[in-house]
């Protein structure tokens, strides 16, 4: 049985981005209820060499958006990277979800062998559609989403596994 590239990407990204959106709501409510400094949370990291929370959320969104666009052969959209609040981050998550929702199964299915070249500051990397999704995009997506969740949890935001997981998207 063949596994659908679409089912391994868009619905998964939407489920976890939805969870991230809800986690951002809970974090905002936590900050407001305790009268805390929102900027502290944006710049929080668990260890000094980690990306801060705001960049973890940006990266989560970027990996979902970039994977779908590259696999389908579409232009990769860019975001301003100027978020400073939970509301700003929530809007970024919503934009990412809106973009991922535009993909149809036929755009992603059958693209397993598509040659994809990604330019990094360190040079080019060559992928197939399948290796980009399974060996690069999904692991990075989960990594940054988990890091964002862990930072908030470490800061006392009352969130749990169900919040992180989101609600599965029906396809």
Predicted confidence at residue 171, as pLDDT, reads 57
Asked if the model's pLDDT at residue 112 lies above 80, the reply is: yes
Predicted confidence at residue 21, as pLDDT, reads 98
pTM for the full predicted model? 0.96
Higher pLDDT, 169 or 120: 120
Q: Are 118 and 124 in contact (CB under 8 A)?
A: yes
User: What tens digit of pLDDT does each residue of 79-88 get?
Assistant: 999 999 999 9
Percent helix, percent strand, percent coil in the chain, to nearest 5: 60, 5, 35
Q: Are 83 and 57 in contact (CB under 8 A)?
A: yes
- Residue 162's contacts (CB-CB under 8 Å, 6 or more residues apart) are none
Angle at 39 between CA 33 and CA 44, to 5 degrees: 100
User: What tens digit of pLDDT does each residue of 29-59 get?
Assistant: 999 999 999 999 999 999 999 999 999 999 9
| 10-165: CATH superfamily | dinb family like domain (1.20.120.450)
Predicted confidence at residue 2, as pLDDT, reads 80
- Residue 160's contacts (CB-CB under 8 Å, 6 or more residues apart) are none
Higher pLDDT, 41 or 168: 41
């Amino acid at each position: 049985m063949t596994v659908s590239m679409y089912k391994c990407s868009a619905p998964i990204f939407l489920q976890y981005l939805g969870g991230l959106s809800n986690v951002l709501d809970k974090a905002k409510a936590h900050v407001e209820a305790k009268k805390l400094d929102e900027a502290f949370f944006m710049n929080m990291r668990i260890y000094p060499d980690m990306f801060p929370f705001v960049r973890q959320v940006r990266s989560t969104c970027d990996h979902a958006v970039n994977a779908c666009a590259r696999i389908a052969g579409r232009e990769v959209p860019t975001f301003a990277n100027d978020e400073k609040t939970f509301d700003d981050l929530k809007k970024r998550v919503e934009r990412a979800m809106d973009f991922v929702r535009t993909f149809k199964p036929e755009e992603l299915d059958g693209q397993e062998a598509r040659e994809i070249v990604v330019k990094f500051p360190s040079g080019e990397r060559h992928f197939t559609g399948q290796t980009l999704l399974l060996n690069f995009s999904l692991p990075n997506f989960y990594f940054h989403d988990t890091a964002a969740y862990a930072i908030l949890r470490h800061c006392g935001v009352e969130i749990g596994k169900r919040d992180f997981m989101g609600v599965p998207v029906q396809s």
